[in-house]
Amino acid sequence: METWIADAIFCFFALITVGGALVVAFSKNIVHSAFALLFTFSGVLGFYAFLGADFLAVIQLIVYIGGITVLFLFAIFLTKGVKDIRISNRVMGRVPAFLLVSGMGYIIAMVIWRTWHHASKLDPEKLAPTTEHLGKALLGPFLLPFELVSVMLVSVVIGAIVLARKEIRDLDNAEEEG
Amino acid sequence: MNDFIGILTNELLKVFPSLQDKLPPLVLTIIVMVVAAGALLALFIAPMAGIFTWIERRVAGRIQHRIGPNRVGPQGLLQFLADGIKLVSKEDIIPDQADKFLFRFAPYVVMSGMFAVLVVVPFSETMVFSDLNVGIVYVLAVASLAPLGIIMAGWSSNNKWSLLGGMRSAAQIVSYELPAALAILSVVLFTGTLSLKGIIEAQYGGFGIVNWFVFRSPFTFLSFFVFFIASLAELNRLPFDIPEAESELVSGYNTEYSGIRFGIFFLSEWANMFVASALIVSLFFGGWVMPGVIYHWLNGIHPLVLNLAQVTIFMAKSMLFVLIIMWLRWTLPRFRVDQLMNFCWKFLTPLAFINLLGVAAWVAIDGAGYVIWQKVFWATKWFMFFLTLALLLRFAVKLCKLVGEMRNTYVDWMVRPPKEEA
């Protein structure tokens, strides 16, 4: 692949990712922010596909675009008063903001510094399909973490059900008391 | 590259060899892709969705004992062209208080979700736009774009019906994705590949019919029903059409849309019916595998003829399922919201999990190499096949009897109208 095409594709994805992220951060309408996440996630998906991580790219689409974004939208629609700009875009004051931004800036600078020298030409062999290796790794050397994660997810689901049920019971009690 | 885009590019280079020097190969591939996508939309999706609307209206007419559209063209076949021209020429109204950008953007998100699935649908051995090795996971992934577009349409319309319809639709699609994915997984356990082409190739043999995954084991047989019901729900078709329940929500998320933007929703909904049927066919009904044909008979045939035959078979099978989906729409009443969710979480999902475990055990025992079990499984396959055949026959006989009785009463009524009681 000629380099300029690769550069052009990279810039395209970078533009989508960063542009989406800017809208997420600066939009005064929280629903717009949630929809702008769609573009950010799509850009990241593009990077994954670009780097030959096919399975990861598809999972990014399922989990982040199909799951997380829809979840955010539901949360926004079902929460009272979250569309108020004073709640959605809360001002923290200058000192904490400065600390946060400089901390993030330091981390990003370190990442750039450390990966700068390792950047190399793309190895075509690394662009081979990854699904099989991922599956074997998950059910082989990484079986224990995989099972732990699934146990955690089950407990999260049970927790969600318990929370949802409790609300109904309270409502019933309130009706009986009233 | 031996997929469709690669073949097209090579053919183009044969005709215009000078292109190779002027354009880098990737740019050429991208141009071919864009042109192919446009051609696909103009020559395949739009006419197909249009003809589906015509078929649907005629089927509905037949079921409801009326005629349906029959004026434009032979038997009303060109009705969709008239509808299309009407939709394009209508004013594109955007409500004053709507979120204008998202309102304009939403139909394209819904449409791209449908369009992206077509990339991996294998019409024949070579007619696959791209045979991704993560094929079926990719299908699940891009299908999740639809609820996002629907929520976008519902919210940006600034209309309570639209928002309620959008929320219902998204909740429904997200819930029913789970049993659908589990049903697909039970097939993937058999094949060991996620590529749709690989899944179809795993269904060769057995006279081109008995190795289809519906018959392969009782668990995949049930998985087919789970997947079929879940796809009905993801299509927002009756009996799961509460997102656009006319009696409650006007027409749901697309209430405020008019003109060609409404047309795009319309188009993607009908094209989605084909996409869902095509997936059912490739996963459970052997894709392009011809029933009654042993594969090595086809060795000497010219590849073009073979491919055309395969496309025909694939389209015929898919059309059958499209017709079944239409038939269900005009026969069954609508679910309530709570019934819908109960059905998904308390019946369909556990059933899909049981199927998955069953298939896992099945594959494990089959792979262990006990001859006796392999014979049992082979017998089960044939038993399932003949059982289905017998059930279908019984059903057909009953249906014929019913139709005959209805015709008799109708003829009686037409010839000798019942006397009015004085």
User: What per-residue confidence (pLDDT) applies to B343?
Assistant: 86
Is A148's pLDDT higher than 80? yes
Q: Shortest CA distance to B326 belongs to which of B119, B43, B64?
A: B64
Q: Is B302 left (phi over 0), alpha (psi -120 to 50) or beta?
A: beta
pLDDT grade, residue B379 (50/70/90)? confident
Chain B residues whose CB is inside 8 A of the A70 CB are 144, 147-148, 151, 170, 174
| B194/A65 Cβ within 8 A | no
CB–CB contact B133 A2 (8 Å): no
Chain B CB contacts of A38 below 8 Å: 148
User: How many cross-chain Cβ pairs, A to B, lie less than 8 Å apart?
Assistant: 68
Closest CA to B262 of B274, B251, B249: B251
Dist CA B50 CA B267 (whole Å):
7
Q: Give residue B1's pLDDT.
A: 41
- Give contacts of A54 with chain B, Cβ < 8 Å: 132-134
Q: What is the pLDDT of residues A59-104, one digit of tens each?
A: 888 888 878 888 888 888 877 766 676 766 677 778 888 899 999 9
Q: Which of B133, B141, B167 sits opposite A61 (nearest CB)?
A: B141
Q: Which chain B residue's Cα is nearest to A75?
A: B167
Tell me if chain B has a CB within 8 Å of the CB of A138. Answer: no
Q: Does B142 touch chain A (CB under 8 A)?
A: yes
HSE, side-chain direction, 13 A CA sphere, residue B317: 27
Cβ of A70 within 8 Å of Cβ of B152? The answer is no
Where helices occur in B192-242 by DSSP H, the ranges are 196-201, 213-216, 218-234
Residues of A within 8 A of B131 (CB-CB) are none
Residue B107 has pLDDT above 50, yes or no: yes
DSSP for residue B239:
T
Please report which residue ranges of chain A form alpha helices under DSSP H. 3-26, 30-50, 54-60, 69-78, 85-88, 94-116, 131-139, 143-177
Unique residue bearing structure tokens 């079902």? A78
Residue-level pLDDT at A68: 86
Confidence band for A178, pLDDT divided at 50, 70 and 90: very low
Nearest in space to B321 (alpha carbons), one of B251, B225, B420: B225
Q: Give Cα separations from B210 to A15, B187, B320, B382, B388 (angstroms).
A: 51, 15, 19, 7, 11
Q: What residues have CB less than 8 Å from B96, skipping those under 6 apart?
A: none
CB B237 within 8 A of CB B145: no
- Whether residue A77 lies within 8 A of chain B, CB to CB, comes out as yes
**Interfacial B residues in 68-127 facing A (CB < 8 Å):** 99, 102
Q: Which of B20, B110, B134, B345 to mutate to test the interface with A (most CBs of A within 10 A)?
A: B134
Q: Indicate yes or no: pTM above 0.80.
A: yes
Chain segment B183-242, per-residue pLDDT in tens: 888 888 888 888 888 888 888 877 777 778 888 888 888 888 899 988 888 887 777 777
Give the span between the Cα atoms of B257 and B106, in whole angstroms.
11
